[in-house]
Structure 1
Amino acid sequence: MNNTTLCPRFEKGMQILSKRWTGLIVNQLLNGPQRFCNIESAFPISGRILSERLKDLELEGIVKRDVYPETPVRIEYSLTEKGMALAPVMGEIQNWAQEWLEPIENQ
């Protein structure tokens, strides 16, 4: 019997990206730095969940949080070099979805 195991790095990568909303957040940030409210308005996501996902991505070194000392304070989120390296992956998922998935009707 063949015993195959997943590569631990692949498994970790899938665990990171498979958390709900994470892939969509990364894809949104491929458009450039954005404020929390802009990301939040792009999806039907609660502020609490978005905050958790951004913190997770920041801990993984995928997202960078920049605080600008203005009045009021401005905070922007952007992808790091590690995060930008996901652009081809997101592009291929987009290509696959266009070819193989049925359009979702607006509800």
Structure 2
Amino acid sequence: MRKQTSTNWLNEERLKATCGMAYTLNLIGDRWKGSILWALMEDERLRFSQLRDLLTGISERMLAKQLDELEEDQLINRIVHPEVPPRVEYELTELGHSMKSMLEKMSDWGEMHREKIENN
């Protein structure tokens, strides 16, 4: 956690408040958030273990942290089924679904850029 009086933190907050792109990148810019959102766009509703299995290399701790942040930012819903043992599923919210075309464009651009760089 960064000190909230540091110049770096204040500059980041100012930038997020005045630039939509910076705000968006702050929401999805962590290493795994885009992949989590993408997986939920593909499968609609997934359990924690299914997400963990789809995202090769992610630790359970990191997945839980990223899911908590996405839920806090209202991009995903956490659905707890009252069963024993409890069953928890995740799905995109309306706001999360609204990111689909943007994420698809970002993915397409990334693929194009990677190919160009690898071919040079």
- Alignment TM class, shorter chain as reference: 0.7 to 0.9
RMSD across aligned C-alpha pairs, in angstroms?
1.9
Larger RCO (alpha carbons 8 Å, 6+ apart):
1
Do residues 58 (structure 1) and 58 (structure 2) align? no
1:72 Cα offset (Å): 2.0
Counterpart in the other structure of 2:118: none
Q: Pick from 22, 37, 60 the counterpart of residue 33 of structure 2.
A: 22
Counterpart in the other structure of 1:9: 20
Counterpart in the other structure of 1:84: 97
Aligned partners of 1:8 and 1:92: how far apart in 2? Answer: 20
Q: Pick from 23, 34, 46 the counterpart of residue 34 of structure 1.
A: 46
Give runs of ≥4 in structure 1 deviating > 4 Å: none
Aligned partners of 1:100 and 1:20: how far apart in 2? Answer: 18
SS in 2 for 1:30: helix
List alignment gaps of at least 5 residues for structure 2: 1-13, 116-120
Q: Pick from 95, 98, 103 the counterpart of residue 111 of structure 2.
A: 98
TM-score by length of 1: 0.83
List alignment gaps of at least 5 residues for structure 1: 103-107
Q: Quick one: which amino acid aligns to residue 89 of structure 1? A: M
Aligned pair count? 99
Q: Residues 10-54 of structure 1, C-alpha deviation per residue, up to 9 Å, x if partnerless?
A: 322111111111111111111211000010111110000000000
Q: Quick one: which amino acid aligns to residue 83 of structure 2? A: E
Counting aligned pairs with the same residue, the percent is 30
TM-score by length of 2: 0.75
